[in-house]
Amino acid sequence: MSEVTIGLIQTAVTDNVQENIRKTAGLVRKAAEKGAQIICLQELFNAIYFPQYEKYSAGKFAEPIPGDTINLFSQLSKELGIVIIVPLFEKASDGNFYNSAVTIDAGGTILGTYRKIHIPFDPLFYEKNYFKDGNLGYQVYKTKFASVGVLICYDQWFPEAGRINTLMGADIIFYPTAIGWVKGHHSEDGDWHNAWETVQRGHAIANGIHIAAVNRVGEEDRFKFWGGSFVSDAFGKVLKKASHDKEEILVATIDLSMNKKIREGWG
């Protein structure tokens, strides 16, 4: 199968975990109705971006894998016959906490968990206060529709991650993300959005691979998340892009045979 249809779910998030899950599950159904075969949610999809605070009682957002949330999406995957990538705050059996993403195949089977490897620690990105470095390595999953690599947010700034996923056989790399402008500093931060999109399109070009980045929208305390979820082909062309301020279901059909053509074109 050379063509596959992917769906990205871009939402605003509240402090109500169950409402976030309910809303997102409904949007997954709608994406499937639009023909999406592989659907990716945004980073920490059911939680506010609590790492903007140096200290925050984030325990209510954490859960084991599998847990209630993953079980729900596994059932949804089986019912709809789709692949779902679910990023969430993992409470692991080793007692540590991770920023993770679970890939569920179209039959509802959990293929694996990727734990974010590159953990930022900057003002408003105090992730090291909450997450351990990922310890499961890079992973590529052979799903019903395509082989997918999953990287999370800050991983996107490191070219090695995209290259390794490509060498491991990924047809497409998904980047679930939570990134935005600091309120009152939009003009100063404007170039960051351009850099964010450009670096990921660069991974597509350098590796001859399709990429899909899914971000959140809305305002959370000092952040205005810039949305702009997008899908790029294997030569860096943006095929579809979401708005900066609206919840959206972004659906795009990609031709995976382009990966080989681009790579062969480089000689």
Q: What angle do CA 39, 45, 46 make, to 5 degrees?
A: 130
Place of tokens 């294997």: 234
Give me the percent of the chain exceeding a pLDDT of 70: 97
Catalytic, out of 40, 127, 153, 248 = 153
- Known active-site residue 153: yes
pTM of the predicted model over 0.75: yes
* Residue 138 near residue 149, CB atoms below 8 Å: yes
User: How many other CB atoms sit within 10 Å of the CB of residue 67?
Assistant: 14
DSSP state of 29: H
* Residue 213 near residue 156, CB atoms below 8 Å: yes
Work out the mean pLDDT of the chain and round it to a whole number: 96
Place of tokens 């408003």: 124
Predicted local distance difference test score (pLDDT) of residue 87: 99
Cα–Cα distance, 249 to 236 (Å, whole number) = 21
Place of tokens 């206060």: 129
* Residue 194 near residue 203, CB atoms below 8 Å: no
pLDDT tens digit string along 133-173? 999 999 999 999 999 999 999 999 999 999 999 999 999 99
Catalytic, out of 23, 40, 91, 116 = 116
- Known active-site residue 43: yes
Those residues with Cβ within 8 angstroms of residue 82's Cβ, 6 or more apart along the chain or in another chain: 28, 32, 36, 37, 38, 39, 106
Phi, psi (5° rounding) for residue 127? -70, -30
Q: What is the mean pLDDT of residues 63-86?
A: 99
Report the DSSP beta bridge partners of residue 125: 122
Predicted local distance difference test score (pLDDT) of residue 266: 81
pLDDT tens digit string along 78-119? 999 999 999 999 999 999 999 999 999 999 999 999 999 999
Catalytic, out of 43, 197, 220, 248 = 43
Check whether 267 has a pLDDT greater than 70: no
Phi, psi (5° rounding) for residue 24? -65, -40
Map out the domains of the chain with their CATH numbers. Answer: 3-265 (3.60.110.10)
User: How many other CB atoms sit within 10 Å of the CB of residue 137?
Assistant: 10
pLDDT tens digit string along 164-211? 999 999 999 999 999 999 887 665 655 889 999 999 999 999 999 999
Cα–Cα distance, 171 to 55 (Å, whole number) = 39
In one-letter notation, the amino acid at residue 85 is I
Predicted local distance difference test score (pLDDT) of residue 188: 60
Predicted local distance difference test score (pLDDT) of residue 183: 83
Report the DSSP beta bridge partners of residue 266: none
Give me the percent of the chain exceeding a pLDDT of 90: 94
Q: Quick one: how far is CA 86 from the chain centroid? A: 8
Predicted local distance difference test score (pLDDT) of residue 187: 56
Predicted local distance difference test score (pLDDT) of residue 191: 85
